Amino acid sequence: MSMAAPWRTFVSYKGQRHYSGCFWSATQGDLILYESRLELARLLFADFDRAVRGIVAQPFLLEAEVDGRRRRHVPDFLLLTEALPIVVDVKPASRVSKPDIAFVLAWTRRVVEARGWVYEVWSEPPPIELANVRLLAGYRREWLFDPAVLAELREADLEGMSLGAVRLALPHWQPEIVAASALHLLWQKHFLADLADPLDATTVLRVAA
């Protein structure tokens, strides 16, 4: 299922209300479809999650007779993790409680959890955290970074240092290169930081255990 093609593909047209596209996932090493900005946000968070080993868009169709009516639903994402698969539906918080949507989500939850999988309805994340993850996603492509710089940053004692200080921690490398490499290691979770606050030069780094 990790290599499954999306159940449907999007079609762009003039005047469309939703925002669709493709996101290159470092986890998947491939493009993944999304049909809204909120779905793109969920992809960013999934790609940032080290526990996620695979991401599949629109992985399967659920179809059944429910309460005398034929129901069909394609979940938005399947996340393959170190533990259980996670089936994700992305919905704005303002729509989750609408009767028709709430019914489909509840039905999907019953079906997914009956298999022993995890079901998640995902709505808007905290704006600052999303902005930080979006920033770090710009540094997700490992082949753009010098392995020697990454190795030195991993080996250096940078616990408790600010991003601004880390930028100057390897004086034989250009500060801009060091700063970008440090942000890549934040993406990789070698470094950790409080993403509830905006990332800037004062952000304190911790080294992951």
Which residue in the block uniquely carries the two structure tokens 């309805």? 121
Q: pTM for the full model?
A: 0.91
- DSSP of 82-140, one letter per residue? SSS-EEEEE--HHHHTSHHHHHHHHHHHHHHHHTT-EEEEE-PPPHHHHHHHHHHHTT-
How far does CA 104 lie from the centroid of its chain?
24
Instruction: Tell me the three state secondary structure of residue 37.
Output: helix
Q: Say how many C-beta atoms besides its own lie within 10 A of residue 166's C-beta.
A: 24
Instruction: Give residue-wise pLDDT tens across range 69-125.
Output: 888 999 999 999 999 999 999 999 999 999 999 999 999 999 999 999 999 999 999
Domains along the sequence of the chain with CATH: 21-122 (3.40.1350.10), 127-207 (no CATH)
Nearest alpha carbon to residue 186 among 175, 172, 161: 161
d(CA 200, CA 164): 8
Instruction: Give residue-wise pLDDT tens across range 47-70.
Output: 999 999 999 999 999 998 877 788
* Beta sheet of 86-90, edge-to-edge order: 52-57, 77-81, 86-90, 118-122
Q: Residue 8: pLDDT band by 50, 70, 90 thresholds?
A: low
- Do β-strands 206-207 and 191-192 pair in parallel, antiparallel, or remain unpaired? antiparallel
Q: Residue 4: pLDDT band by 50, 70, 90 thresholds?
A: low
